[in-house]
Chain A
C-alpha cells in the first residue's frame, strides 16, 4: 500500500461513524454488504428477465440499441459490461485502478474520502463501479448506459464511479439507479468523480427509481477544465424513503460551463434533499442550475448554491416548486456567494399551486380538469429536462404519464 493509499485508509477509518451534515442518519450496521459473487453475463439480454424489466424502468435499454456501451452493477457485483463503440474505455473502477497507476491522481480527488460515513464506507469496501474514459478528441456518438441496481433486501450497495473526458472529447452517460421488485429496504451509497478536460464535454443523466424504504446517499464531485462543458440531469419521480445529495462542480478553467437540471417528485413518505453547487473559480465561466420539483405529500428541499470566485463569470439559479394536495412540503434554498466584484449572479425561486387560470384555459379547449392538470404538470417538469436527449425525454414523459401525477 502506497503512502497516499495508507493516508486515505486512515482518513476513511476515522470517518466511519461521521454523520453527514444533511439528511436522516442511516445505521449501516443494520444492512448487509452487497453481494460480490453474482455471476457476470456477456450481454444485457442474457441477464434474468426480472433484471431486464427493472432496467427498462430506469431508462436502461436491455437490447443496448442506440447505446455504445453498457454496465450493470447488481448489489456489489458487476453483472454485465459491454462495449460496441470506439473512442472510449469502460471497465470496473477496481480493474481500472489496477491497470492505470495514474488513476490514483483522480480517485478520491473530487470527493473527500472522509466527508462522512458513506464516503468512508465506500472507500473501505473496495467498491465496484464504472470507470469511463473518453479518449482525447473522440466524440462518442451515442450514450453509454449504466445501471446501479439493488437486488436483495437490506443490502448496503457501495459504488465508486470515475469518468474522465479527455481533451476535446465528448461523452454522454445515462445512469439508472433502482431496486429489483420485492426489495423494499436498502441503502445505496454511490461516489462519483467526473473530470472534464480542456474543451471536453460530458452530459450525465441520472434517473432514480427506488422503493419505498430505500435510503440514497450519492456523493458527487466534478472538475471542469478550460472551455469544458458539464451538463447534469437528475430525475426522480418514484417512491423512495430518503435521498440526500449535493453534487459540486468546480469550474477551474477559463470559459468552463456547468449546468444542473433537476426534476423531482416527492411522493408521500419521501424526503428528497437535493442540492446542486457550482464553484466558478476561473474567469469567464458560466453556470446554470434549474430545478422543477413537485410534492404530492412528501418533503422536497431544493438547495442551490453558486459561488463566484473569479471575474467575468455568469451564473443563474432557477428553482420552481409545485405543491399538489394539502400535505406536502416544498422548500427552496437558493444561495449566491460572490467573492470578487465583476460577477453577474442571479436567482429566481417560486413555490405554489397550479394556477387556476391555466387549468381553465386548457379545459376551455375541451379537456377534463384532470387532463388539464396533467398537461400543466408535464409541462412544468418538461422545462427541467429540456436539454435531455430526445429518446430519453420520451421515456421520462412516459414515466410521468404513468404516474398518479398526470392522469391522461
Chain B
C-alpha cells in the first residue's frame, strides 16, 4: 500500500505540489489524469525521490515505512519501479548491462528482450537513438528485470505508434497482473500501479480500480476511472476546475 499524505513539494522557491493526498492499495491499479504541467510527473518523481523536488510537508509511506526522505536506490529496493517519460541517454551503457544489474544477475537479458522483440537492442546504449516506442519497451524490460511491487508509469502510451501500443499495453498488463486475470487473486499477489495517462488509451489494456484528477499541483477529484475519463473527454479539465470551485464554495 502506497500512501501519500498531505504532500507539499517545492522546486527552489516554487511550489509544485500542494497538500496532495492519495493512496494506492496493494494489488490496485490507479490512474492519474490531468492537463500538461499539472504536477503528475512531479508526483511520480517525488515518490521515486528524483531530481530537485523538495518535500516541505507531508509524507510518502510504502507498506508502513516512511520513505519521504529515503535515498532513491533504497526506495527501489523496497519495491518502487518507475517508467520515466523521457529517461536520459546512457552513452556506453548497453541495455544488456542495465538488465543484468537491475535483475541482480538473475534474469536472462536475451530471453527477457525476446518478449518485446528487443533482442537487437541488447548491444545498444540505453535510450541512445531509441524511438518513442523503443524507449517504452526498454523501460518495461528494465522494470520486468527489477520486479517491483508498485509500478509508477508516466504516460506509457505517449510517443508509441499504433502497432507498438498493443505490445506495450499487453506487457504492462502482464507485469501488473502477473498474467492473472482474477482481480481477487491479483490483490493477494500485491502488485499495484499508479499510471499517468493523458489519453486514457492504456485503459484498453488494463483494468484500473481508481482514478485521480490533478490540476495545478492539487488533487481535485477521485472516482471511477472510466467515468472520470468520459467526463474529461467530453467536458475537458475546465469542468474539473469549475467543479472544484463549486465544492470549495
**CB-defined contacts of A361 to chain B, threshold 8 Å:** 84, 87-88, 90
Quick one: closest A residue to B89, CB to CB? A358
Which residues of A (367-398) have their CB < 8 Å from a CB of B? 367-369, 371-372, 375-376, 378-383
Residues of B within 8 A of A381 (CB): 92
Complex: A367 Cα to B146 Cα, angstroms: 11
Of A363, A368, A369, A376, the residue contacting B90 (CB under 8 A) is A376
With A366-B73, A369-B71 as contacts: A358 and B101 at CB distance below 8 Å: no
A366 to B73, CA, bound (A): 4
Question: In the complex, how many residue pairs between chain A and chain B have their CB atoms under 8 Å apart?
Answer: 72
Which of B71, B87, B142 is in CB contact (< 8 Å) with A363? B71
Asked if A365 and B71 sit within 8 Å, CB to CB, the answer is no
Given contact pairs A369-B71, A375-B97, A375-B101, A364 touches B91 in the complex (Cβ within 8 A): no
Q: Does A16 contact B (CB under 8 A)?
A: no
Specify which chain A residues have a CB less than 8 angstroms from the CB of B71 in the assembled complex: 363, 368-369
Cβ of B92 and Cβ of A365 under 8 Å apart? no
Instruction: Tell me if B201 is interfacial: C-beta within 8 Å of chain A.
Output: no
The answer to whether B92 touches A368, judged by C-beta atoms less than 8 angstroms apart, is no
State whether A378 and B92 are in contact (beta carbons under 8 Å apart), knowing that A360-B50, A364-B82, A365-B146 are contacts in the complex.
Answer: yes
Interface code B57-101, partner A: CB below 8 Å = 1, 0 otherwise?
000000000000001110111000110100111111100011001
With a cutoff of 8 Å between Cβ atoms, the chain A residues found around residue B73 in the complex are 363-364, 366-369, 372
Could you tell me the distance between the alpha carbons of A381 and B71 in the complex, rounded to whole angstroms? Answer: 27
Q: Is there an interface contact between B72 and A364, defined as CB atoms closer than 8 Å? A: yes
**A65 on the B face (CB < 8 A):** no
In the complex, which residue of chain B has the Cβ closest to the Cβ of A385?
B92
Q: Using CB atoms, name the residue of chain A closest to B52.
A: A356
- Shortest C-beta distance, A132 to chain B (Å), equals 32
Shortest Cβ distance from B87 into A: residue: A361
Min C-beta distance of A324 to chain B, whole Å = 15
Complex interface: chain B residues within 8 A of A380 (CB): 91-92
Is B91's CB under 8 angstroms from A383's CB?
A: yes
Question: What distance in Å separates the Cβ of B45 from its nearest Cβ neighbour in chain A?
Answer: 9
Residues of chain B contacted by A364 (CB below 8 angstroms): 48-50, 72-73, 75-76, 81-82
Closest Cβ neighbor of A357 among chain B residues: B88
Residues of A within 8 A of B50 (CB): 357, 360, 364
Q: Is A15 an interface residue (CB 8 A)?
A: no
Q: Is the CB of A355 within 8 A of B88?
A: yes
Are A363 and B92 CB-contacts (below 8 A) given A375-B97, A379-B125?
no
Q: Determine whether the beta carbon of B91 is less than 8 Å from that of A366.
A: no
Q: Does A362 contact B (CB under 8 A)?
A: yes
Which B residues are CB-close (under 8 A) to A358? 88-90
Query: For the complex, is B170 an interface residue (Cβ under 8 Å from A)?
Result: no
A364-B82, A366-B76, A368-B73 known; A383-B92 Cβ under 8 A: yes
Q: Decide: A365 and B76 in contact? CB cutoff 8 A.
A: yes
Residues of A within 8 A of B82 (CB): 364
Closest Cβ of chain B: how far from A163's Cβ, in Å?
30
In whole Å, how far is B230's beta carbon from the nearest beta carbon of chain A? 34
24 A–B pairs (Cβ distance < 8 Å), ordered by A: A357-B88, A360-B51, A361-B88, A361-B90, A362-B98, A363-B71, A364-B49, A364-B75, A364-B82, A365-B76, A365-B98, A365-B102, A365-B142, A366-B73, A367-B73, A367-B101, A368-B71, A369-B73, A375-B93, A376-B90, A376-B92, A379-B92, A380-B92, A382-B92
9 extra interface residue pairs, beta carbon distance < 8 Å, beyond A363-B76, A364-B49, A366-B76: A361-B88, A362-B98, A364-B75, A365-B76, A367-B101, A368-B73, A372-B73, A375-B93, A380-B91
